[in-house]
A and B are shown apart, each in its own frame.
Chain A
Amino acid sequence: SQQGEEDPQALSIQEGENATMNCSYKTSINNLQWYRQNSGRGLVHLILIRSNEREKHSGRLRVTLDTSKKSSSLLITASRAADTASYFCATDASDYKLSFGAGTTVTVRA
């Protein structure tokens, strides 16, 4: 079952603009991860944020976590055509099990 739910389901932006997507989850977590999936490829790990962290950066990515609202956001700044992909949040359902959301499909127009 999917614990994380991404919003919006799809997003279309112009190259250079920022893209923001949100993830909501239901139960307590130890950490939350974001993954990217390009068409026809496997998921690629982007970033992990722990439950005691509020914000984390990695290159053009910025992730926030609000455990009181059980939500996270992923911001991609200065988007490029190569950022076109589906983005998934994943919460730790157990020590080893990740529960993935349905994903946000991002299209970056040239």
Chain B
Amino acid sequence: DAGVIQSPRHEVTEMGQEVTLRCKPISGHNSLFWYRQTMMRGLELLIYFNNNVPIDDSGMPEDRFSAKMPNASFSTLKIQPSEPRDSAVYFCASSGDISSQHFGDGTRLSIL
């Protein structure tokens, strides 16, 4: 039973470059979440999709961040242009109901 799959697991890139993070949620889950985890701020919700529609993007830090969910089995989080302060672990999670969220193993992003 496949869990939430994220790619890449690690990304190191230079400031100013475009970064695209990918997520495949668990089949049948209709909710998808993107989080960012840092030591300073902990786990922050960036954006929430329900049935492929963005419902709450109030956590997206700046216009440099964008997220899409073109279908029920795929979502992307894009940062353009990237900055060193974007360095963090980005998690995707999916859920079929409110009782729990299922997290991927994250993408560790380093912007030099």
Q: Do A and B come from one complex?
A: yes
Residue ranges of A at the interface with B (Cβ–Cβ < 8 Å): 2, 31, 33, 40-45, 48, 88, 92, 95-98, 100-103
Chain B residue at minimal CB-CB distance from A45: B100
Q: What does DSSP make chain B's interface, helix, strand, loop or mixed?
A: strand
Interface locus among B12-20, B40-48, B79-87: B40-48
- By a CB distance below 8 angstroms, the chain B residues around A45 are 100-102
Residue ranges of B at the interface with A (Cβ–Cβ < 8 Å): 4, 31, 42-43, 45, 48, 50, 55-56, 91, 93, 95, 98-106
Say yes or no: A42-B91 contact (C-beta < 8 A), given A102-B42, A103-B42: yes
| Pairwise interchain contact A92-B103, C-beta atoms closer than 8 A | no
Nearest CB in chain A: distance from B75 CB, A: 15
Which of B56, B100, B102, B103 lies in contact with A97, CB distance below 8 A? B56
